Chains A and B, each alone.
Chain A
Amino acid sequence: MKKTIVKGIWASVLGTILGLLAGTSANAYTPLGCTCASGTINPISFRFYSVGDSTLVTATKAGVVAWNDTSTPGYFEETTISLDPEVNVTDGTFPTDNFYAKISHSCINGHFNGNEVNFIWNNARLNTRTSSQKSRIAVHELGHSHGLDHVSTGCHIMRFDVGYMTDCSRTTPSSDDIAGANALN
C-alpha cells in the first residue's frame, strides 16, 4: 500500500514536469492578449493621418512590406477610408515623453475594440534614428497589431528595446515573430 502511494506521488511529480515541459513553447514570442477579430485580417488596412514627416511614411511602408513578405496569415494594405481592421498611423511631437513610437488600443473579449489600433510616432525622439532604425520600429509596432507583445531577449523584432538594439541588426520579423503571428491569428 505504502509503495503504491509512493509510486503514485512519483508519477504525479513526473507528470507535472512533463506537462510543464510540454506547455513551454520553444518559440520566443509573447501574446499581447488581443488580436484583430477572427477572420478579418485579409487585409489589415492602414491609414495615414496627417503624418508630417515623409521619412515616417516611408518607414511605415517598409514595415508593411517586411510583414507582407512573410508567411503570416494577414497582410497589410494602405487605404484612405476607414476599413476595419485598421491601423491608424499618425505622428506627433511629445518632447516630455520618452518613446520613439507607440501603439494604443483597448481590448474586448481578446480582440481590438472596434477592430482598430492607433500607431503614433514621436517626432521629438526620432531625430537620432536612422531610416533603417525607423523601419525596424515600424515592423515592431505592426507586430503588435498581429497580436504580439514584447520579448526581452533574442534577436527578434518584438524586443522591447527594438529602437536601440546594439546586439542585433534585425530589420525584419524573425522566425519566432512569424510563428507567433501565425499562431495568434
Chain B
Amino acid sequence: MKITARNQSVRILMFAIATTSAIVIYLFINSSVSGTPQVITEYSIPIFPTISDAVKASDGVLEIQIVSTPTTYEDFGEDSKPDFPGQEPELIEIVNARVISVISGNSNLQGKDILLSQTPTSQNQEDSDISSRMKNGTRVIVIGYLVTANKDVANGAQVWVPHASGQGVLDITSDVSISVRSDLIYTSDFINGQSMSRASFEALIK
C-alpha cells in the first residue's frame, strides 16, 4: 500500500486517540484508588433455616405493592448522636406500600398503607442485603415485623422491617408462583429454580 501524506495523518491521528484513551483510563483508575476510601460494613444478620422459622419470628406475611420511591434517613440510635468520633450513621431507606392481602397476621391491614424499611445500596455491604430491595410499583410478599422507628427515621413512625438478606422479600413471579432472590436462604423449602407455587407457600406458613 502506498503511504500517502493523508494515510500518514490518519495513522498519527489514530495513535493520538489511542494514547489519549490510555491516559484517560489510567487516570480514571488511579483517581478511584486514591479518592476517599469507601466505608465497608460487614453485618451479622438473622438467617432463618426455613420459611416456617422466619414466619414464627415475624408479625405478619403481607402481599404488598410498593407505591413510592425510598426516602433515606441517617440513624445514630435512640439518642441521635454518634458514640465516638468518626462513627458513621446507619443509613435506612423507608418506602410506602399498600397491603394487597394479608397472608398471615393482622387482617385489618388489608387495603391500608404501611411503611417498610430497607438498606440503601449506597451502603457498601453484603450482597445479600441488596436482595431485599423493593422497586416502586412492584408487588412482593413481605415477611417482617412491626417496630417503632427512632425519632430520626420517619419521625418515629411504625415501620415494617422485612427479614434481612432477601428472607423477608419474596418475588411474585406469576399469579401462582413465588420465588426467593438468593440461593443461600430457605434452601430446604426452595429447591430447584428457587420458586414454589403460592399454594405450597401458604401451606408452609399456616
Interface residues of A (CB under 8 A from B): 32, 34, 49-50, 88, 90, 92-108, 113-114, 116, 118, 120, 124-125, 128, 137, 140-141, 144, 149-150, 152, 160-164, 166-167
A95 with B47, Cβ < 8 A, contacts A32-B42, A103-B42, A105-B39 known:
no
The range of chain B's interface size is: 35 or more
B201 at the interface (CB under 8 A from A): no
- Among A49, A95, A152, the residue within 8 A (CB) of B184 is A152
Q: Is the interface of A mostly helix, strand, loop or mixed?
A: mixed
Interface residues of B (CB under 8 A from A): 37-49, 57, 75-78, 83-84, 86-88, 90, 92, 94, 117, 119, 126, 128, 147-150, 153, 159, 161-164, 168, 184
Contact B149 A96 (CB under 8 A): yes
> Nearest-CB distance from A141 to chain B (Å)?
7
Contact A95 B83 (CB under 8 A): no
Contacts of A106 in B (CB 8 A): 37-40
Contacts of B47 in A (CB 8 A): 160-161, 163-164
Contact B37 A107 (CB under 8 A): yes
Contact A100 B45 (CB under 8 A): yes
10 residue pairs from A and B, CB less than 8 Å apart: A32-B42, A90-B83, A98-B46, A99-B44, A104-B42, A105-B40, A118-B84, A124-B147, A163-B45, A163-B47
Contact A96 B87 (CB under 8 A): no
Contact A98 B150 (CB under 8 A): no
For the complex of A and B, list the 4 residue pairs with the smallest distance between their C-beta atoms, beginning with the closest.
A92-B77, A161-B47, A106-B37, A95-B147
